[in-house]
Amino acid sequence: MACHPNDAVKVNHPDPMKENYDNYLLIDAGSNMVNKKFSRDLESVLQRAKDSGVQKIIVPCTSLKTSKEALRLARIYPGALYSTAGIHPHEAKSWEDNYYDELKNIAKNPECVAIGICGLDYNKDFSTPDMQRKVFELQISLAIEMKKPIMVNQKGAHEDFLCIIKSHMPSLLPVILHSFTGSFEEASQYIDLGMYIGISGGLCKDSSGSGLKQLLSTRILTLDRILIQSDSPFMYPNARAANLTDTVKSSLTQRSLGFLQRYCTFHRNEPCSLPILVELLAAFINKKPEEVALATSYNALKIFGMS
């Protein structure tokens, strides 16, 4: 057979931004889309999230105002954004008598899939501990009444937090520790009570030896108890962190790094950083990223009742 110069074999070079596109099915269980850093280009942020594999995003709220705004966004982007309704412990001092009914009216909507973010934070003195405990208890009661999961935050208040949570067991539906950065000892007790742990870019910062990495290495925290959260615009997952081993860094794909490096910074993280977080988590627990993505997405669908 004659060979002609123009009959050269065509070699298809994969686009690193499209590599493994179909491999990851991702749900961001906590991204602050109502933050003012996203006000100018939310549409582009959501498109990049979708391009990276993020199918759905839970928008956690910290005040009555953000709870209303998140519900508005969830209606604009049905099936992509979902809201919560809650008052963060920092905002507990703002609680008024009508807030319970206001939050309840928000939570009645199908787009609202959880109560929170609520809880206790004694590390910062934005609201008194007494007021924080009162508002936390009220929101737990609301979660029970509405039969919704609850997204919580705890810093420097472990004993009080645990006491309040235990007093409402087993009526309390799934509890999610939002963007957890606490200790091994705290998390172990939460996991024993059936809580879910939200993992964000804080995984890259953990150099304590007694936090998330220890939970993962000892297999105390297993995939069936994990949700992944970008917690954007915060919690940038620093893939170049000095405390990450070369083995972990070498497991990261060019596609995922591309989204992280092109669109995310320490000043503004985005949901499209989620593929990197999945790959980091997979490397820590010696699993395939596809398995981590599927398991954490299944957890989110189950907890929040999404289709």
Can you spell out the DSSP letters for 259-282?
Answer: HHHHH--SS---GGGHHHHHHHHH
pLDDT digits (tens, 9 = 90+) for 196-223: 999 999 999 877 777 898 999 899 999 9
**Do residues 269 and 201 touch, judged by C-beta distance below 8 A?**
yes
178 among the known binding-site residues? Answer: yes
What is the arithmetic mean of pLDDT over 76-96? 97
Domains along the sequence of the chain with CATH: 22-304 (3.20.20.140)
**Is residue 11 pLDDT above 50, yes or no?**
no
pLDDT digits (tens, 9 = 90+) for 32-71: 999 999 999 999 999 999 999 999 999 999 999 999 999 9
pLDDT digits (tens, 9 = 90+) for 72-84: 999 999 999 999 9
User: Could you report how far apart the first and last alpha carbons of the chain are, in Å?
Assistant: 57
Supply the pTM of this predicted model.
0.91
- Is residue 39 classed exposed, middle or buried when 0-12, 13-18 and 19+ CB atoms within 10 A define those classes? exposed
Return the CA Rg of the chain: 21
206 among the known binding-site residues? Answer: no
